[in-house]
Amino acid sequence: MRVVVDLNRCQGYAQCAFLAPDVFAMHGEEALLYDAQPDDAHRADVLRAVAACPVRAITVEGAGGRWTADRVGASDGA
């Protein structure tokens, strides 16, 4: 599976690092590092992380995933 985090949007709440620790990890107090192509075995954890992210910064491709990262700072409507 494929994952991307909009790190402009991420504010370091670390919910993903608790829910899918094999995929997301805090580096220092606020910076997030993650595996962009985790094994499918982690899919359920990753989807929980997507749902729990307070700023909806995580996007997953494919089943159960959908594009959720809105543009940051764009003032034009979609």
Partner 1 sequence: MALDGSLERLRREGHIVVVGASLAGLRAAETLREEGFTGTLTMIGDEPHEPYDRPPLSKQVLLGLVPVDRTALPRRRAIDARWRLGVAATALDMAAKRVTLADGTSVEYDRLLIATGVRSRPWPNELEAGLDGVFVLRTTDDAARLVHRLRAGPRRVLVIGAGFTGSEIASVCRERELPVTVAERGPAPLVGALGGVIGEVAAELQHQYGVDLRCGVMVTGLEGDGAGRLRRAHFSDGDALDAEVAVVALGATRNTEWLAGSGLAAGPRGIACDAGCRAFDVRGIVSDDVFVAGDVARSPHPLFGYQFLSLEHWGNAVAQAEVAAHNMISPGERRRPHLWTPYFWSAQFGRNIKSVGVPNMADQILVSQGSLSEHRFTAVYGYQGRVIAAVTFDQAKWLEFYQRQIERAAPFPLPFTTVDRRTEGMRPVPAGFPDPSVPSHGPEVTVSGHSPTDQRVTFTPA
Beta-sheet strands, E only, within 1-78 = 3-5, 24-27, 31-34, 58-60
Nearer to partner 1, 3 or 53 (CB): 3
Binding site for partner 1 (CB under 8 A): 2-4, 6-8, 10-12, 25, 27-37, 59-62, 65, 67, 71-76
Minimum CB–partner distance for residue 34 and partner 1 (Å): 7
Nearer to partner 1, 40 or 61 (CB): 61
Interatomic CA distance for residues 4 and 7, integer angstroms: 9
Give CA–CA dist 42/56, Å, rounded: 19
